[in-house]
Amino acid sequence: MKILAVILLFLLSVLTATSKSLTAYFETYPEENIGIDSVFLTEGDILADMRRNAVRDIHATWLNRTVPYIIEDTYDHSQRMEIKLAMTEFEEKTCIRFVPRSDETDYIIIRSEMGCFSPVGRRGGQQLVSIGPGCDRKGTIMHELMHALGFWHEHSRPDRDSYITIAWDNIPEDHKSNFRKYTEEDIDTLGAPYDYGSIMHYKNNTFANDRFKPTIKSKFPLPDGVEMGQRIELSDTDILKVNRLYRCNITHCPDAGVPKIGYRKGDNFQVASAVHYNCSADYVLVGSRARYCMDIGQWTGNLPVCLPSYKGGKLHYCNFDRNNSCGWKQDKLDNQDWTFNNRDTPSVQTGPKEDRTMGTQEGYYIFLESSRPCEEGDAARLISPSFDFSGTKACLVFYYSMYGSTMGQLNVYQRVSGKNMKKFSQSGDQGQDWHMTAVVLDEYSSFEIVIEAIAGTSYKSDMAVDDVIVGSCDILSSLVNGDIQDTMSCGFNNGLCGWTQAKDDVFDWELMSGSTSTFNTGPNCDPSDCIKGQYLYTEASAPRVQGDTAIIQSPMLRGGSERCLAFSYHMFGDSMGTIKVYLSEFGSNKELLWTRSGDHGTDWIREQLDFVPKSLYQLVFEGSRGSSYRSDMAIDNVDVTVGNCAGAS
């Protein structure tokens, strides 16, 4: 028994010594995290996230300069004090504030994993900052919190080769990537000088094969008192960079404004403060009920407006904030569901960056998550409550985002007695911005709206919708006028550009490349690009008969002054029909602008028209089939510019 006891004591002493050795090792080289393979780390202590880097992206800094946190209970009193001291130094020397998390969506959780590491910048939701054994000293904790705030290592700056030399021959092959140099597109140095004494700088023998030789050599003598790789305190340059990244010189936002026929609660315009809005009785607030003063000196979102809810039927508005669907319901017969979100979607290079209403994580929107298990062609449909706008023309206004290289299709239907009538359709990549559209609805005593997203060919097909309004057209016209574009240009080479097929005609305009299928009618190819270009045409072969119409209408455009419409048309065929162009002002009847009939030869013809829309409007092209199949007509390159056509040319 005595021998066994001696052996046990020996083993215990070895384990204790090993533990102390590991702790001392991590304290000396906290970024190395040697032997840790449970997480994917880059540069030793950065929890990798390949979506984007922080300091080049305002969306990856912490909102209102505030970092909500949770410290797990596994730390003893001394360790918790070190964490608090690290946070206190930031709060004393910068405008950053660390606050215990209540219900914030984005926050850090400080947990004792094996090693010390953190992601760079705000990544969304809960994110881990590991302060493990040997990492629980104030300086090392500040190093990891600097990563969480949005900073990479100092030695990875784009200009580092002017200040240091990397001794590649003393770095193990599998650690050479930790000494990569980033480009100016990756890292913003914030105009600060290279800082040998930064708390973010490696020690001069980090990841060394031979600890007695450097892996980083300074090209200049270090300033007096400066130690490369110190983990004692924030350097003056560290403090400067934090304050610049978080714009600590900005303290206030401008006056938050008051909506007409409404009122505001709150007169504090300091950064991180909030104001709240309400409308008078019988008015609906369109926009956000709360706005926050951001650290860029601007309020979130736009000043909301108050619109009457009593005229011609109750105005219905939904911005989906705080996961509120406002009475809209998921269709149980589709393949996928619309999903609530309040930041960029999980997949890279697709979806919007943030909510449309607020422009920050405080607001929400709905989107189709097109990653697996979603497949090409899967549909998600959202169905509105039932509306009744008897006695007035109703309109639909909404914002959409369709960013992604394999973007699918977004459709909007007016549903009457269970029958869907398509009122809007858009497909293809439309960029990352939010786009507004307005649709004039058909007059029915009762109807619903259906918003349908159809997935594209891959995960890069996240489309989103926000700020949906249904109301009388005369009320909504003043609201949307400022958000509608003045001009338009479409060559139809990438789809319909937001043009929609009418549902009260007989057949549709079709996209075509090359010649039409019928001999001695229609163009041979696109007027601008004969090889790859597309145009719109009407196919006059059976089952079409004389007088059948195909009608297509443009997106909504802003009026108020003279406009020039330019377009190309092609009318070749010995039984050619008629093309008409109408002006359709928001909620009003159509006005004929131009018409042509008969055979106009084999060439494309360019036409220009002056017109003066008084308010929001759409352009409508109507093709009417002639007496036989030799009546294929085409249009292309439709452009609208401000001013008259003489000035435009």
C-alpha span between 628 and 146 (Å, rounded): 75
CA-wise closest residue to 64 among 109, 17, 115, 98: 98
Which residue's entry shows tokens 């393979």? 37
Contact predicate 198/254, CB 8 Å = no
Contact predicate 533/493, CB 8 Å = yes
C-alpha span between 431 and 427 (Å, rounded): 12
- Which residues are CB-contacts of 88 (< 8 A; sequence separation ≥ 6)? none
Contact predicate 199/229, CB 8 Å = no
| Mode of pairing for the β-strands spanning 379-383 and 394-402 | unpaired
- In the numeric block, which tokens belong to residue 45? 């202590």
Catalytic positions, please? Answer: 144
- In the numeric block, which tokens belong to residue 393? 């023309």
Contact predicate 503/415, CB 8 Å = no
Roughly what angle, to the nearest 10 degrees, separates helices 138-149 and 236-245?
Answer: 30
Cis status, amide bond into 543, omega within 30 of 0 = yes
Using alpha carbons only, what angle is made at residue 546 by residues 541 and 551, rounded to the nearest 5 degrees? 80
Contact predicate 245/150, CB 8 Å = yes
SS3 60: helix
Cis status, amide bond into 523, omega within 30 of 0 = no
In three-state form (DSSP H/G/I as H, E/B as E, the rest C), the secondary structure along 421-450 is EEEEEEECCCCCCCEEEEEECCCCCCEEEE
Contact predicate 235/198, CB 8 Å = yes
CA-wise closest residue to 516 among 541, 484, 549: 541
Distances from the Cα of 184 to the Cα of 187, 199, 201, 490, angstroms: 5, 21, 18, 36
C-alpha span between 130 and 436 (Å, rounded): 43
C-alpha span between 535 and 511 (Å, rounded): 6
Per-residue b or e along 597-636, where b marks 16 or more CB atoms closer than 10 Å to that residue's CB:
eeebeeebeeebbebebebbbbbbbbbbbbebbbbbbbbb
